[in-house]
Every structure is written in structure tokens, then in C-alpha cells.
Homo-oligomer: A and B are copies of this chain.
Amino acid sequence: MKTFLDCLPCMMSQALRAGRMATNDEKIIKELLDSIGAMIKDIPLENTPPQTGDVIYKKVREITGVIDPYKKIKEANIQEALSLYPELKEIIRKSDNKLLTAIRIAIAGNVIDFGVGKDFNIAEDIKNALQQDFGIFDFNEFVKHLEKANTILYLGDNAGESVFDKLLIEELNKPVTYVVRDIPVINDATYEDAVASGIDKVAEIISSGSSAPAVIPELCNNDFMERFNKADMVISKGQGNYEGLSNVKRSVFFLLKAKCHVIANDLKVKENDIILKGINF
């Protein structure tokens, strides 16, 4: 997905939020915003938004000196998600369509996103996602691909959401490789966050090799790209990964919540719709 004009003020807002997570020093945050402002002219609209995000969060690390501003928030979100796990496991167990219920819960977990700047309430958002109609619903194709797949590459998104991904991985009932960001960026899941979420119990965990807040083929390492190209099925979580991968040639199933009007327009759905969208299937 290309960068839209609306993404540019949003990048400034993201830098402000991340700067505030990293420091209370208003002068440092002003310096950060000065730098991000000056960078706007070098952002081509042809780039995907997370490519720009990569540059911006690098600048946040450089100017504030803080590598992981969202560390404590990520830990708290993982703990909250883990506390909901037994109840959700039970909801899935009792449901008529366990896979679909697990998909709904995994998408609901996608609200735990500090890139977008919306308030969320994890428990409440899950309740809603269990009822909500899908904006795009390629479930039948998802099931067909799943039945045939021997290797599944599951692209993680946020820390905390990762706990809900575990619930879905358990229902996939196939060997899964779970992909995390190479280093901390926003509140996205790293290797450490995935382990804290219990993903290591149900999947192999690998890094995309990139610091971007999304899987963007041009920025990932060769090892990852080989796995990406060869996997029988790719399941991609979240907005960032959709933005980075919406134009790739291989089949991908995107699970996300359309949390801003830009992505909702791109997907031709309403803001806050839940999405199960396959491409090239």
C-alpha cells in the first residue's frame, strides 16, 4: 500500500507519542519533531507507510536514546492478554466453529496497537469481535488453503496480540513458524515478547530481519524471504503487515482490524471493520 497524504501528519503524531513514551524532556521531543518535520520532504508517497515508519522510529531511538519506549506497556499488555487466555480458550472450545472463533479473537487482539493512537479496551474489543460482521470474509479460501498446507508462516504484529495469536495457532493444527520484528519498534512483538506470550510452546519463532514495524520484502533478510516465498500458507496479522505486503505476488491471508480511515478506504471497508482478506489465492 502506498503512503497517503493523511499518513504524514499521522507520522508526526506517532513520533510525538513514541517520544513521550521515551522521555519527559520537552526539548528532546521538540528536537525529535523538528527532525521528523524536516524529513517529510524525503518521504515519497510511493513508499509503503511502514517503510516511512521504519525511518521515523529509527529517529526516535537516535534522538531520545531509548531503544524500547514501549517495553513496560508491552509487558503489561501481554500480562493482561494472558489473564484472558483461559476464558477465551473455553469460548473457542465451546463454539460451533472453533477455527472461526479463534480467528475472530486473533483479529480482536489487533486493537493493542500504539501506532494508531486510539484508545482500546482489550476485553471489550474481544466481546465485540465475537459478534461483529466481517468487512471482508475470505474464510472458505482460508480453510481450503489451510487444509492443504504443510508449512504455515504466521506474521505477528503487536505484543499482547501475540497471546491471541497463540490461540489461533493452536486451532490451525499445523506446523507454524511465527515471525517477529528484529528489534523493538512501537509495541510490535519481538522474540522476547513472543516467548513471554507462550508462542514458543506452539510454534518456531523467527525474525523478519528488519527493524520496520511491518514485514516489507525489500527490508527483510534473505533467510526470512526464502521462508516467505516457500511457505505453503502465509497468515499476516495487522495493518502494518498489510501495508507492507498488499502488493506482493504470492498468496497471503490478512487478518486485521481496519483502525484508520486510510486503510479502510484502501480496503473499501468501514473504519473499525474486521477483515479476513486473501490475495492471489
A10 to B29, CA, bound (A): 15
Q: Does A149 make an interface contact (CB < 8 A)? A: no
> For the complex, would chain A's binding face be called helix, strand, loop or mixed by DSSP majority?
helix
Residue A13 CB within 8 A of the other chain: yes
In the bound complex, what is the Cα–Cα distance between A13 and B12 (angstroms)? 10
Distance to closest chain B CB from A55 (angstroms): 13
- Contact partner of A9 (CB less than 8 A), chosen from B13, B30, B39, is B13
Those 4 A-B pairs whose CB atoms lie nearest each other, nearest first? A37-B40, A9-B12, A34-B41, A37-B37
Residues of A at the B interface (CB closer than 8 Å) are 5-6, 8-10, 12-13, 16, 19-20, 26, 29-30, 33-34, 36-41, 45
Whole-angstrom distance from the CB of A34 to the nearest CB of chain B?
4
Minimal Cβ-Cβ distance residue in B for A6:
B16
- Looking at A10, A20, A30, the one whose CB has the most chain B CB atoms below 10 A away is A30
* Cβ contacts under 8 Å, A12 to chain B: 8-9, 12, 37, 40
Chain B residues positioned under 8 Å from A9 (CB to CB): 9-10, 12-13, 16, 33
Least CB distance from A232 to B in Å reads 40
Are A41 and B45 neighbours in the complex by a CB distance under 8 Å? Answer: no
8 A-B pairs within 8 Å (CB atoms) are namely: A5-B16, A5-B29, A5-B33, A6-B16, A8-B16, A8-B33, A37-B38, A38-B40
Chain B: minimal CB distance from A19 (Å): 8
Chain B minimum-CB-distance residue to A29? B5
Please indicate the chain B residues that have their CB under 8 angstroms from the CB of A16 in the complex: 5-6, 8-9
